[in-house]
């Protein structure tokens, strides 16, 4: 590697409790190929390799969650914990910024490695409630009395899973335009399910989809929304 670039990378001291995992070889490879100092700095803290197919989504989700002041964030499908890290930090940092107590990142993952992610989050004092379970088993009692600002749907993208997750969790998503369902792979495997929930008359959304990187959709729950709103009310 170009020594100047290496020297720059050496200055990026990660906020990571586990020294073994300080260097993320895939990150270095990625940035060597596609230099992007702003992103390198934004990405230097996470405890896992960046998800190089959806490089931007971690920071994008962080800033989105910060922009809306999200308190309770649910992620379905955590994999290596890449986006999980950003979402959990957003919940924590919103709590600090707005003096809110009880902010929480909730994660649901079928694989036991989610418990390793939990261990990392605990070390970093990131507020988390991580369950090793299938999203198919979520009931209204699973997250009793929790109302979510964001649900990030990134688990099993088959139609039945996507539809069932939304059927169960729609009542627990904030209304009045304040709750967001973010779906990945909507121009890929999640297309059928997400198309169905967008058009289901039981739900009231405004939404946007982008096609790039398998597609992402942001659906905003509009139940109880009053037109004529200004940002101050």
Ligand X SMILES: C[S@@+](CC[C@H](N)C(=O)[O-])C[C@H]1O[C@@H](n2cnc3c(N)ncnc32)[C@H](O)[C@@H]1O
Note the residues at the interface with ligand X (CB under 6 A).
51, 54, 57, 75-80, 82-83, 108-111, 134-136, 154-156, 161
CA-to-CA distance for 119 and 98, rounded, in angstroms?
26
82/58 Cα distance (integer angstroms): 7
Least gap, CB of 204 to ligand X (angstroms): 26
Tell me whether residue 163 or residue 222 sits nearer to ligand X (CB atom).
Answer: 163
Nearer to ligand X (CB atom), residue 198 or residue 213: 213
CB of 86 to ligand X, least distance (A): 9
Least CB distance from residue 2 to ligand X, whole Å? 29
Nearest of 103, 73, 95 to residue 173 by alpha carbon: 73
Nearest residue to ligand X, by Cβ distance, number only? 77
Residue 162 or 173 with smaller CB distance to ligand X: 162
- Closest approach of ligand X to the CB of residue 225, in Å: 28
| Residue number, 61 or 173, with CB nearest to ligand X | 61
Query: Which CB atom, from 137 or from 196, has the smaller least distance to ligand X?
Result: 137
């Amino acid at each position: 590697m170009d020594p100047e670039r290496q020297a720059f990378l050496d200055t990026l001291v990660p906020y990571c409790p586990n020294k073994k995992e300080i260097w993320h070889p895939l990150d270095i490879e990625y940035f060597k190929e596609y230099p992007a100092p702003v992103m390198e700095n934004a990405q230097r803290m996470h405890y896992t390799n960046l998800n190089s197919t959806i490089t931007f989504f971690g920071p994008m989700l962080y800033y989105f969650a910060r922009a809306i002041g999200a308190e309770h964030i649910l992620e379905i499908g955590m994999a290596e914990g890449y986006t999980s890290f950003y979402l959990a930090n957003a919940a924590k940092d919103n709590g600090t910024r707005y003096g809110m107590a009880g902010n929480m990142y909730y994660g649901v993952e079928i694989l036991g490695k989610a418990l390793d992610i939990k261990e990392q989050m605990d070390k970093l004092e990131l507020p988390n409630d991580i369950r090793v379970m299938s999203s198919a088993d979520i009931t209204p009692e699973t997250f009793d009395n929790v109302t979510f600002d964001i649900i990030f749907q990134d688990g099993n993208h088959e139609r039945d899973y996507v539809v069932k997750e939304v059927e169960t969790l729609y009542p627990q998503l904030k209304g009045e335009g304040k709750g967001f369902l973010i779906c990945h792979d909507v121009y890929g495997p999640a297309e059928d399910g997400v198309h169905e929930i967008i058009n289901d008359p039981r739900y009231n959304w405004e939404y946007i989809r982008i096609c790039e990187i398998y597609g992402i959709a942001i659906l905003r729950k509009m139940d109880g929304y009053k037109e004529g709103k200004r940002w101050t009310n």
